[in-house]
Amino acid sequence: MAELAEEEGDEAILAETEQELDDLVRVIERTQLELMLNGDADGFDCFIEIHAGAGGTESQDWTEMLARMYARWAESHGHAVEVVDEMAGEEAGLKSITMRFTGRNCFGWLKHETGVHRLVRISPFDANARRHTSFSSVAVFPVLDDSIEVEILDKDVRVDTYRASGAGGQHVNKTDSAVRLTHAPTGIVVQCQSSRSQHKNRAEANRMLRSRLYEIALREREESTNAAHRDKSDIAWGSQIRSYVLQPYQMVKDLRTGIERGNAQGVLDGSIDPFLEGALAALAGS
């Protein structure tokens, strides 16, 4: 088609054909990457936890921006998003949020987002319009189905109930429906307040705790079978992985792969596929 269009000088057909070829290449490249999603939990749904770092309102606003970024990414791929738990900031933003993502290969695509995300911008909360740097941590872990067994001893878990905060109506705020579980051996804390039912919130919190413990075991196994993953700081779990600069210029750069984009607002609107694909390809090839 392209050759015929060139011979006949049909610029419209030529442009359309070239676009179709570009789209096909894109589909092939993404399909090749999806073939790498063959880990034990890659096909599972996932939870994402985001916590504000030091910096008060600045970091809390950044946490809310990250939550929106991941939600927009999920929506663009037809995935469902549910807020499991959130704690609002004093003035703006969120101190923390836990979201559940439901869809094909959610954990596989998002698992390498675990780490610290850094934002540089002119603060909208600073009357002197000074530049601020904010940090938030992201943790991603799979939603387990009932076929995967994770042993949790009752004596190792402390259960606390408290009144839910935020939206949900008067009933939510007047009863101790929210549940917090603390796993003593690991120090893991999970909490859920998405339902008015304490029983349902406890069941979801248990599911989250099982998922966190499974993710730790999965990570330890991957690190022990591939020492290179442990030695390379650019792919280390929990390290600073990405920098988002809004001032004095716009740039988002992944510190593990070197991939960068100048359209920072587009990235914050959910266009994070280049970073997800880059991390997956780099880690699979290392």
Q: pLDDT for 70-85, tens place per residue?
A: 999 999 999 999 999 9
Confidence of residue 17 (pLDDT cuts 50, 70, 90): confident
* Mean per-residue pLDDT over the chain, rounded: 84
Confidence of residue 171 (pLDDT cuts 50, 70, 90): very low
Q: Which residues of 11-38 are buried (b: 16+ CB within 10 A; e: fewer)?
A: eeebeebeeeeeeeeeeeeeeebbeebe
In DSSP terms, 252 is beta-bridged to: 244, 261
List, in order, residues 6 or more apart from 243 with CB less than 8 Å away.
118, 120, 251, 252, 253, 255
Confidence of residue 245 (pLDDT cuts 50, 70, 90): very high
pTM: 0.75
Beta strand 157-162 with 260-261 is: unpaired
Helices H, strands E: what count in the chain?
Answer: 9, 11
**CA-to-CA distance for 51 and 49, rounded, in angstroms?**
7
Is pLDDT larger for residue 110 or for residue 128?
110
Q: How many residues does the chain have?
A: 286
**CA-to-CA distance for 123 and 144, rounded, in angstroms?**
39
**CA-to-CA distance for 190 and 205, rounded, in angstroms?**
6
Asked whether residue 27 carries a pLDDT value surpassing 90, the answer given is no
Confidence of residue 238 (pLDDT cuts 50, 70, 90): very low
174-181: long-range pairs with CB below 8 Å, 24+ = 177/201, 178/85, 179/205, 180/205, 181/157, 181/205, 181/206, 181/208, 181/209
Strand-by-strand arrangement of the 251-254 sheet: 80-88, 94-102, 46-52, 131-142, 115-122, 240-245, 251-254, 260-261
Query: CA 41 → CA 33, 68, 174, 211, distances in Å?
Result: 16, 24, 38, 10
Is pLDDT larger for residue 176 or for residue 166?
176
Write out pLDDT tens, residues 114-154. Answer: 999 999 998 888 777 788 899 999 999 999 876 677 888 88
Confidence of residue 222 (pLDDT cuts 50, 70, 90): low
Q: What percent of the chain shows pLDDT beyond 90?
A: 42
**CA-to-CA distance for 274 and 256, rounded, in angstroms?**
13
Tokens of 54: 């030091």
